[in-house]
């Protein structure tokens, strides 16, 4: 289905061309800052904290929020609003509570560039650092979700075949991240965030003419949805991921802990002074509010306007063409593509810096045994490894993307739930419990991840959010028990040694 | 459901701003 043609189609191509030139230029500008791992992974202190905050929100909001979640709203109705409520509410409160302590620990440990490194230093455990870096590879599925979102937009609006849509998206992102690292990622996110916010606000405003009813626009929308199916306006959906109170609670828990995702926490590490945390967290809150709570309304309105779409993920592209003149649609499409690219670049950066910083750097003393390499040389090599990994991760995501998933949102939510199940206990207990130690953290991380994968693979627990919640709770318990036992053993050893001496 | 949605979003703003002010207004002296 191609919804733009002639002049407007060329306008979108033109805008995208200019947009990609600007991205690549910023990438080249960022190359100055990305020669060391600190510059490549965090660009610490190089970007204004207000822009870092907007970048946090832009990275947070991806194809999931701009296409997948409106698609779910199209399918299941207003129950999906619980999800977007949590995207702003639970996640922003989570950021406010976690950011300061996380940043302070990062300063205390000195030179922390990634979440695995933060955990490795907190628990003095290289094993944990490498395991969490491996766990982050789950993000490849998150990237696949973004590729699929991009290809869906290209396909449904521009008529570009799915296959080529993915190839174009992957190539562009790899190019500018490979060149400019975190600096390019955050500055481009600033621009992308503005486009995303404008698109979201326009979708909200458009309800006044697509649905009508003046100030009672939401009342009219409810009536029209109820006329199609009364379940569409129920607080709990009939089927789907938001079908029980337990599922809704688990979703809020997931979104509260979502800020622990490595590609988001790295933004906190790029803040240089404690004073800058204040504008950073406020800017993240404002941008997150605008870009995460409004697009979903487009999915609901699409159901009222075009109730018989074959693929729910097409709800937003179709709604835009119903609601706006083609010239505006052209600009908004670039806004949606921004949403996708701004997350994809953050995800690539998170995965590849983990490979360079947390796997290669840890393995370097064994790999270059016998050679006396200085820290600077290893650091430069790690940046090179990260950039090479970028190409391989891109190719892997490309390969997996060719097999189109049934639901984009479900694929994305599966990947981040797996990561959170593994890292939530080590991070949280690392903050609040002095006795939390390395063996406990490793045990907790492995338990959370394996349980989640087990639940999902063998369908022991049908709802993925509930699966994540249970895995996380068990992970906390296991970590608590193992840490207590290993702490006791250490105490006994110390007592025995002091008695002997 | 929409009323609940907007109401809860407003509530989050109030709680968030209070928390933000409480946590991020205090800056320890560096060094």
B1-31 residue pLDDT tens: 888 999 999 999 999 999 999 999 877 655 4
- Expressed as residue numbers, the domain containing A210 is 6-412
ipTM score for this prediction: 0.93
CB contacts, 8 Å: A96 with chain B: 16, 19-20, 23-24
pLDDT value, residue B31: 42
Token pair in block for residue A144: 């696949």
- Smallest Cα distance from B13 to chain A, Å: 8
Is A36 exposed, middle or buried (CB count within 10 Å of its CB: 0-12, 13-18, 19+)? Answer: middle
pLDDT value, residue A433: 85
CA–CA dist A33, A186 (Å, integer): 12
**Using CA of residue A16, residue A197, residue A307, residue A408, what is the dihedral sign?**
positive
CA–CA dist A294, A75 (Å, integer): 17
**What is the domain-level CATH number for residue A47?**
1.20.1730.10
Nearest CA in chain B to A233: B1
Secondary structure of A74-109 in the HEC alphabet?
HHHHHHHHHHHHHHHHHHHHHHHHHHHHHHHHHHHH
Nearest CA in chain B to A92: B16
Interface test with chain B among A271, A278, A280, A299, by most B beta carbons within 10 Å: A278
CA–CA dist A324, A25 (Å, integer): 31
CA–CA dist A180, A189 (Å, integer): 13
Nearest one of A278, A253, A198, A287 to A468, comparing CA atoms: A253
pLDDT value, residue A269: 83
Residue A122 maps to a domain: yes
pLDDT value, residue A13: 80
pLDDT value, residue A174: 78
- Smallest Cα distance from B4 to chain A, Å: 10
| pLDDT(A306) > 90 | no
Name the pLDDT band for A471 (thresholds 50, 70, 90): very high
pTM for this prediction: 0.81
Residue A242 maps to a domain: yes
User: A4-18, A97-111, A260-274, A451-465: lowest mean pLDDT where?
Assistant: A4-18
Query: Where is pLDDT greater, at A315 or A109?
Result: A315
Residue A224 maps to a domain: yes
Contact A289 B23 (CB under 8 A): no
Nearest one of A413, A405, A412, A400 to A170, comparing CA atoms: A400
Contact B24 A277 (CB under 8 A): yes
Interface test with chain B among A92, A101, A295, by most B beta carbons within 10 Å: A92
In the three-class reduction of DSSP (H, G, I as helix; E, B as strand; rest coil), residue A272 is classed as coil
CA–CA dist A365, A363 (Å, integer): 6
Residue A354 maps to a domain: yes
Using a pLDDT cut of 70, give the percent of chain A over it. Answer: 91
Name the pLDDT band for A46 (thresholds 50, 70, 90): confident
Contact A93 B25 (CB under 8 A): no
Residue A500 maps to a domain: no
Q: How far is CA A8 from the centre of its chain?
A: 31
Contact A218 B8 (CB under 8 A): no
CA–CA dist A223, A201 (Å, integer): 23
Name the pLDDT band for A493 (thresholds 50, 70, 90): low
Name the pLDDT band for A182 (thresholds 50, 70, 90): low
In the three-class reduction of DSSP (H, G, I as helix; E, B as strand; rest coil), residue A368 is classed as coil
Residue A458 maps to a domain: no
Please count the structural domains in chain A: 1
Residue A462 maps to a domain: no
A72-108 residue pLDDT tens: 899 998 999 999 999 999 999 999 998 888 888 888 8
Residue A31 maps to a domain: yes
């Amino acid at each position: 289905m191609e919804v733009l043609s002639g002049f407007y189609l060329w306008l979108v191509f033109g805008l995208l061309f200019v947009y990609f030139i600007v991205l690549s230029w910023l990438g080249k500008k960022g190359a100055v800052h990305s020669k060391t791992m600190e510059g490549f992974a965090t660009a610490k202190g190089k970007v204004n904290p207000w822009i870092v905050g907007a970048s946090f929100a832009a990275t947070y909001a991806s194809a999931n929020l701009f296409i997948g979640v409106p698609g779910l709203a199209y399918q299941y109705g207003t129950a999906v609003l619980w999800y977007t409520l949590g995207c702003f509410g639970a996640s922003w409160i989570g950021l406010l509570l976690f950011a300061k302590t996380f940043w302070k620990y990062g300063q205390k440990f000195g030179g922390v560039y990634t979440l695995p490194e933060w955990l490795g230093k907190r628990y003095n455990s290289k094993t944990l650092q490498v395991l969490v870096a491996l766990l982050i590879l789950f993000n490849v599925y998150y990237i696949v979700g973004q590729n699929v979102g991009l290809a869906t937009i290209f396909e449904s609006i521009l008529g570009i075949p799915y296959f080529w849509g993915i190839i174009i998206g992957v190539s562009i992102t790899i190019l500018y991240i490979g060149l400019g690292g975190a600096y390019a990622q955050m500055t481009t996110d600033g621009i992308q965030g503005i486009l995303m916010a404008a698109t979201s606000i326009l979708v909200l405003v458009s309800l006044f003419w697509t649905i009508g009813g003046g100030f009672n626009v939401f009342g009219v929308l409810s009536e029209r949805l109820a006329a199609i199916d009364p379940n569409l306006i129920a607080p709990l959906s009939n089927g789907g991921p938001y079908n029980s109170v337990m599922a809704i609670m688990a979703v809020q828990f997931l979104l509260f802990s979502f800020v622990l995702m490595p590609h988001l926490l790295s933004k906190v590490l790029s803040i240089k002074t404690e004073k800058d945390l204040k504008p950073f967290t406020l800017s993240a809150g404002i941008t997150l509010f605008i870009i995460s709570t409004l697009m979903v309304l487009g999915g609901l309105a699409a159901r009222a306007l075009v109730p018989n779409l074959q693929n729910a993920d097409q709800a937003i592209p179709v709604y835009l063409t119903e609601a706006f003149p083609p010239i505006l649609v052209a600009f908004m499409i670039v806004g949606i593509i921004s949403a996708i690219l701004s997350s994809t670049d953050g995800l690539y950066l998170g995965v590849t810096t983990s490979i360079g910083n947390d796997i290669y750097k840890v393995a370097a003393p064994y790999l270059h045994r016998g050679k006396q390499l200085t820290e600077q040389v290893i650091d430069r090599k790690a940046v090179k490894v990260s950039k090479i990994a970028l190409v391989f991760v891109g190719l892997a995501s490309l390969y997996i993307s060719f097999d189109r998933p049934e639901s984009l949102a479900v694929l994305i939510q599966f990947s981040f739930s797996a990561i959170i199940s593994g890292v939530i206990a080590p991070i949280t207990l690392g903050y609040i419990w002095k006795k939390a130690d390395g063996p406990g953290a490793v045990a907790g991380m492995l338990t959370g991840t394996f349980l989640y994968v087990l639940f999902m693979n063998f369908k022991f627990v049908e709802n993925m959010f509930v699966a994540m919640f249970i895995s996380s709770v068990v992970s906390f318990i296991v970590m608590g028990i193992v840490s207590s036992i290993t702490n006791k053993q250490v105490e006994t050893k110390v007592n025995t040694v002091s008695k002997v001496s | 459901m929409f009323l609940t949605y907007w109401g809860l979003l407003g509530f989050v703003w109030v709680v968030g701003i209070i928390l933000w002010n409480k946590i991020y207004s205090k800056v320890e002296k560096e060094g």
